[in-house]
Structure 1
Amino acid sequence: MTITLHGACCVLGGAGILIRGESGSGKSSLALLLAAAADGAFVADDRIVCAVAGGDVVARPHAALAGRVEVRGQGILSVADLGVPVRPETILNLVVDLVDVSPRLPKPPGPADLLGFQLPRLVLDHGVRAAGLAPLLIRAALQKPRP
């Protein structure tokens, strides 16, 4: 089974990350920021094709958008032109949901269900992202054992 999701996808420290959120929430910007790290790479923007392969959920870009990213106010750009490494696909290890507001002391989010697989999930609100804490929290989430 294959599904196409709206989001962005990158790799950090060898782990695949799917970023979801409303239009304009910063999915592409966060994926580029993570992919630009020394141990990062960009996979896909806007339409993420996900499929089950070998007991994992694998994400890849839609063929029409491979190697490209939309940067608000700049248009659709080549990821390679930005000096960011690109990968053709990745096994997903974490789902990050971008929201406007979350409780001050929230309960841990439940896992994300993708194609029948339960993947660890992190919820990041606008305040956390604006403070620049998203990369640190994502790295910490990747260290936790998978549910």
Structure 2
Amino acid sequence: MKPTTNVHGTGLLLGSAGVLLRGPSGAGKSVLALSLLDRWEARGWPALLIADDRVDILETAGGLAMQAPDQLTGLIELRGRGIISRPHVATAPLHLIVDMVPDMIRMLEEDELRTELAGVTLARAPVPFGSVISVHHQLLLVAQAIAELGTN
């Protein structure tokens, strides 16, 4: 598999769902990622980090996959603490893109729940920054988007 692109984001495998968190620096991707990992682990479900900050996107026969750049495998930044390690996997399929957004939209249009990456249409969950809503609300939005995938 050859990388098609390297994106700014955080890749996770939550159960069988591959999730890519995208957004600008400081949007809260890493805190949300750590919170998602903790939530899945607390329920006894598989929860693995792919990479934080940069993720390689690969074309596969079944769609797209995420791969950790070698130097970032299993590492994530916890602001106020530094770089920490989490259980990880080097590669996982990509099913859902979580876009960190600056505003809360109360009722989304159907077309806002899909996005395209490398020519592939994927499910999308717009999730407001942590400065806009609580991490608990963010978790609910991501968990609902994953449930609607039907992968777990």
Residue pairs, 1:1-147, within 5 angstroms: 2-36=4-38, 37-38=40-41, 39=45, 40-79=47-86, 85-108=87-110, 109-126=112-129, 127-128=132-133, 130=134, 132-145=136-149
Length-normalised TM-score, structure 1: 0.85
- Once residues 117 and 145 of structure 2 are traced to their aligned partners in structure 1, the CA distance between those partners, rounded to angstroms, is 18
* Matched AA of 1:20: R
Q: Would the aligned equivalents of 2:21 and 2:97 in 1 still touch at CA under 8 Å? A: yes
Does the CA-based 8 Å contact 2:10-2:30 persist in structure 1? yes
Q: Could you tell me how far apart the structure 1 residues matched to 2:35 and 2:106 are? A: 25
Following superposition, the deviation at residue 111 of structure 1 comes to 1.5
Give me the identity figure in percent.
Answer: 33
TM-score (norm 2): 0.83
Alpha-carbon distance in 1 for matches of 2:106, 2:60:
38
RMSD (CA atoms)? 1.8
| SS of 1:102 mapped into structure 2 | coil
Alpha-carbon distance, 1:134 to partner:
2.0
Identify unmatched segments of 5+ residues in structure 2. Answer: none
Structure 1 runs not aligned, ≥5 long: 80-84
Amino acid at match of 1:115: A
Q: Is the 8 Å Cα contact of residues 34 and 41 (structure 1) preserved in structure 2?
A: no
CA contact (8 A) 2:73 2:88 kept: no
Distance in 2 (CA, whole Å) between partners of 1:114 and 1:131 is 26
4+ residue runs over 3 A deviation: none
Q: Distance in 2 between matches of 1:65 and 1:131?
A: 24
Equivalent pair of 2:113/2:126 in contact (CA under 8 Å)? no
